[in-house]
Every structure is written in C-alpha cells, then in structure tokens.
Amino acid sequence: MSINGENPKDEIEKIEDKMSKIAQLFILPFYITNFIGIALARSLHYQFYCWYFYSILYLVFCTPFKKSVMFLLLGVIEYCWNVYPSTEFSSALLHACHVIIIYGVYRNMSS
C-alpha cells in the first residue's frame, strides 16, 4: 500500500495516463501545424510524403471516425501519392483527404 492508501499499480497507471495525455498535448500541435502547412501548399512533391507520413497515421487516429474510415483515408492518401504523374483527380482526392483529416481532428478536439 502507498501513502494515500491506493494500490501502487493503480498509481502507476494514473501517472502513465497523465503522461500519455501530456505527450498527446505536446505532439499534436506540432503534427497538425505541419499537416496544415502541407495541406495548404501550392504544390506537393514526393519528398513531402516521407516528411509527413508518420504524422498522418497519428492524426488519422486522433479523429472520431470508425477504423474502416481511418484505414480508407490512409489507403486513399497512399494511392494519391503513388499516381505518377499526378492527375487532377488524384490531387483533388488528396486535398479532400487532408480536409477530412483536419476536420476530424478539430471535431475530436472540440468535443
């Protein structure tokens, strides 16, 4: 037993939960600002994909969407980047995915 009468494992879980929330509050602003910058860029180059690939995964899972929609977004983004040369359709689809992710993160954070 600890000083305040709680189980030490429960205390550790509470601390881990607080650290997880702190880490999310720390990393989310960096990822979302980078993502918005890419979403609003005048032109996208293939180097950008490796630049924000890992943040997309985190941001998609910060949305309130169902898992199937999350994986669909990731798959569509992958498709858009693998179309060479890019077409108007693939570019519009990529921008639509970016807007959906930004909206999902906003909706999740505002609730």
User: Residue 4 gets which letter from DSSP?
Assistant: T
pLDDT of res. 8: 65
Q: Is residue 2 part of a domain?
A: no
Burial class (CB in 10 A: 0-12, 13-18, 19+), 100: middle
pLDDT of res. 104: 95
pLDDT of res. 95: 93
Q: Is residue 99 part of a domain?
A: yes
How many structural domains comprise the chain?
Answer: 1
Burial class (CB in 10 A: 0-12, 13-18, 19+), 60: buried
Q: Is residue 72 part of a domain?
A: yes
Q: Is residue 80 part of a domain?
A: yes
Q: Which residue matches tokens 């179309």?
A: 83
Q: Which residues of the chain have pLDDT under 50?
A: 1
Task: Look up the domain containing 46 and give its range.
Answer: 8-110
H-state helical runs in 40-87 = 46-60, 67-82
Residue-wise DSSP of 79-91 = HHHH-SS--HHHH
